Amino acid sequence: MSLSSQAAEHPRLHQLSQTNQLKALMTIIRDKNTKRGDFVFYSDRVIRLLVEEGLNYLPVNDKEVITPMGVPFQGVSFQGRICGVSIMRAGESMEQGLRDVCTSVRIGKVLIQRDERTAQPKLYYSKLPKDISDRWVLLLDPMLATGGSAMKCIEVLIEAGVKEDRILFINLICAPEGVLKMLEKFPSLHIITAEIDESMDAQKFILPGLGDFGDRYFGTED
């Protein structure tokens, strides 16, 4: 079985339904000829779908309300509070999609970069909500390659008191190597993604991928 098949069948890896609409959106943002305005617009559409899907994995309580017709309705309400944490810089592109779905949501930021001396991910900046240990966290980063930065960020969250099973990693495209490594290291973590790609190249870029998401989204390509 290929690595991508192993990742796709993992019980804690949740892919968006592979509809024609999603495939069309992903085709647009993967196309190297797509202009930045269209890249941002269609990426935002996928991001919102991912956030909506992520909310499906939050716990709920039964709740009864009375409709304007005076009739009781048996529904649910979310259990607990949430916040977002974006892995800078590309993860910041996903913040608006979260705000569009969850009004007034608190969002923290973490900056992790590769240490040139050790070649390991290193924490450079972290600003998290003070009560983050009491919240469910939607961790935002559009691309998951080796998983180094994301795993370091999860360690930061756990050190801040967040329970591992309260972290949902929201991601557009992932490499199977990174998925399997993350889920092995964090056995209570859930990953929500749009698509699982085939592999990575020698420079650890995802294939077929879409290039540098942050550069394309923020317009900083060479």
For 70-119, write each residue's pLDDT tens digit. 999 999 999 889 999 999 989 999 999 999 999 889 999 999 987 767 66
Per CATH, the number for 3-218 is 3.40.50.2020
Query: Over 80: is that where the pLDDT of 1 sits?
Result: no
Mean of the per-residue pLDDT values for the chain?
A: 93
Query: pLDDT digits over 107-152, tens only?
Result: 999 999 877 676 678 899 999 999 999 999 999 999 999 999 999 9
User: Hey, which residues does 85 pair with through a beta bridge?
Assistant: 108, 139
- With 0.85 as the threshold, say if the pTM is over it: yes
pLDDT tier for residue 14 given thresholds of 50, 70 and 90:
very high
Query: Do residues 29 and 37 touch, judged by C-beta distance below 8 A?
Result: no
Looking at the annotation, which residues are catalytic? 114, 118, 212, 215
Query: pLDDT digits over 194-207, tens only?
Result: 999 998 998 888 99
Query: pLDDT digits over 52-65, tens only?
Result: 999 999 999 999 99
The pLDDT assigned to 121 comes to 85
Q: Where are the domains of the chain?
A: 3-218
